[in-house]
Structure 1
Amino acid sequence: MAATETALAVGQGTEEINLAAFRRLIDEGFSGGDVSVVDETCAPGLVEHQDGLAQPNRDGVKGAITFLHRLSPDIRITVEDTVAQGDKVWARLRSRGTHGGDILGGPTGKAFDITVMDVARFEAGRIIEHWGVPDRFTQMQQLGLLPGGA
């Protein structure tokens, strides 16, 4: 039985189910590097609105997870705040790590610590639409890739 079905069976409400799916995607996927969780937490018809992804769908999300772990093998993304209302979850995340990968001019060995804002819309306990805004400017400064950085 999938996590969403289990939650429905024990009587969790829609907002709690959505929050659990969102947290799972962040914890196991983005922080843990497990791309298989994307298929379990995101609907097949996912529309990804975040700039910079190669594809605006589940494959794009999997690519983003792979890219982040290549950029920073020690990356940790934590959910700092959430609001769930109806079919949406709003979240403030914290993304921390060390530029240890061979991309973006690296490895520089420099640490980054940025905020990410997310909005996800759900259908049947799975993400069907997502908007993400990572603070890439601050990240590039902290990595020394832009003037004014570390």
Structure 2
Amino acid sequence: MDNVATMNRMFELLNEGDIDGFGDLLTEDFVEHEETPGLEPTKEGVKQLFHMYRAAFPDLRMDAEELLPSGDKVVGRIRATGTHTGEGFLGLPATGKQVSIQLIDIIRFDDDGRACEHWGVQDELSLMQQLGAIPAVAPPA
């Protein structure tokens, strides 16, 4: 199996807004290790998360800047971009602001080439600063 190609395909589907197609690349017993309050750490929970992101950022793009395979896992350095035109994201009204943040994703694939586990981190501080929800702090002089 070419897990790098599958991970790229996952991002393509998300960029197209095809959350169900993305979900088809996850196993039924998929485990999400990135804690997302209010959502189950399952395949359905991850699909709900991406539906929420697409509602808030209809032009959401997730572009792999680097993908590193290691055994049954792929580590990715990802750039997520979008314009906040949807209501209700983290309680914020639509700002119309464009955002760009870095993410690190680690996905483990099963023997059939489907994603079965995910660990990840994203730069949420930068996201909230770009949306104006948290003031950006100037570096010391």
- Structure 1 runs not aligned, ≥5 long: 1-13
Ranges of 4+ aligned residues in structure 1 off by more than 2 Å:
none
Match of 1:139 in 2: 127
- Residues 80-99 of structure 1 show CA distances to partners (whole Å, capped at 9, x for unaligned) of 10000110000011011111
Q: How many residues align?
A: 133
- Structure 2 runs not aligned, ≥5 long: none
- Residues 44-102 of structure 1 show CA distances to partners (whole Å, capped at 9, x for unaligned) of 11110112160111101111110111111111111110000110000011011111010
1:108 to 71, 89, 95: 95
Is the Cα contact below 8 Å between 1:38 and 1:61 reproduced in 2? no
In the TM superposition, residue 38 of structure 1 has moved relative to its aligned partner by 3.2
Alignment of 1:11-90 (within 5 A): 14=1, 17-29=2-14, 31-52=15-36, 54-90=39-75
Residues 95 and 108 of structure 1, relative CA distance in 2, 3 Å threshold: same
**Matched residues in 2 for 1:18 and 1:40: separation?**
15
Aligned residue type for 1:78: D
SS in 1 for 2:65: strand
Length-normalised TM-score, structure 1 = 0.83
**Matched residues in 2 for 1:86 and 1:148: separation?**
40
Taking only aligned residues, the RMSD between alpha carbons, in angstroms, comes to 1.4
**Matched residues in 2 for 1:62 and 1:39: separation?**
7
Identity %: 35
**Matched residues in 2 for 1:77 and 1:57: separation?**
20
Length-normalised TM-score, structure 2 = 0.88
